[in-house]
Structure 1
């Protein structure tokens, strides 16, 4: 199974905004060069992050800025801003109701996947953008 790449892109965008604040204008073109995707994807991501109250975006070439401190932005918030967590795990919508496995798969597997998702979100709530900025700093120091 492969998860969406929206959250990792959003995290990278926020890390770039935090790291390069005051150094470079963090425009969609600049951010796209870090993520190595089309600026259109970055603009959509910035729109989602703005709607979630995590960034403000100046029109034109003004760039983006964090609305909160990195220590106050969690991976859970970022995930909620860009992912539809209802589709995190997708179980076949119409399994065979005549099969004992098919008719029970939503209840049996759905409950387990819900627990897994909740544990993941709890873990995400304990990791901040500041934690990741420190990890980037440490990775650069050990280079």
Structure 2
């Protein structure tokens, strides 16, 4: 949902309509505006968006789309969250194999998380916007006149 929000903000950044509201974003995402506002709070704390109150208020990107990566978005909303759920208390201390399995999986999960973050870091919001626009045009080609 956070990537959807940032993609909308990038698309509307040059619009004369001005900043987007959480209500408009919630309609697009099909969720409650409260959920959007919670995500916007995370994005604002990370310096990715700015909010303005008042009649002409709304949300805008705080940085250029070329300067925001999908990793930035991911880390702003998933900070401290584990990508893979771990056993809440760990294996039984008297189990012969449990600690070995847990240690092994930590290595596997660590490599997977590093690969995910590297992949997300390689895509900027500007690139995502260009790719999404190309997909939209492929699905909705302009009608030829003449």
Q: Aligned match of 1:64 in 53, 59, 69? A: 59
Question: What are the residue-to-residue correspondences of 1:1-143 with 2, within 5 Å?
Answer: 9-21=1-13, 22-24=15-17, 25-60=19-54, 62-92=57-87, 93-143=89-139
The TM-score, its normalising length taken from structure 1, stands at: 0.87
User: CA shift at 1:85, angstroms?
Assistant: 4.7
The TM-score, its normalising length taken from structure 2, stands at: 0.86
CA deviation string 1:11-40 (max 9, x = no partner): 000111111232444100000011110000
Compute the RMSD of aligned alpha carbons.
1.5
5+ residue gaps, structure 2: 140-146
Give 3-state SS (helix, strand or coil) of 2:85's partner.
coil
User: CA shift at 1:98, angstroms?
Assistant: 2.0
Give 3-state SS (helix, strand or coil) of 1:56's partner.
strand
Greater Rg over alpha carbons, structure: 2
User: CA shift at 1:69, angstroms?
Assistant: 0.8
User: Could you tell which deviates more after superposition, 88-97 or 116-125?
Assistant: 88-97
Supply the distance in 1 between the matched residues of 2:113 and 2:12 (Cα, whole angstroms). Answer: 32
CA deviation string 1:31-72 (max 9, x = no partner): 001111000000000010000000100124511011111111
User: CA shift at 1:112, angstroms?
Assistant: 1.2
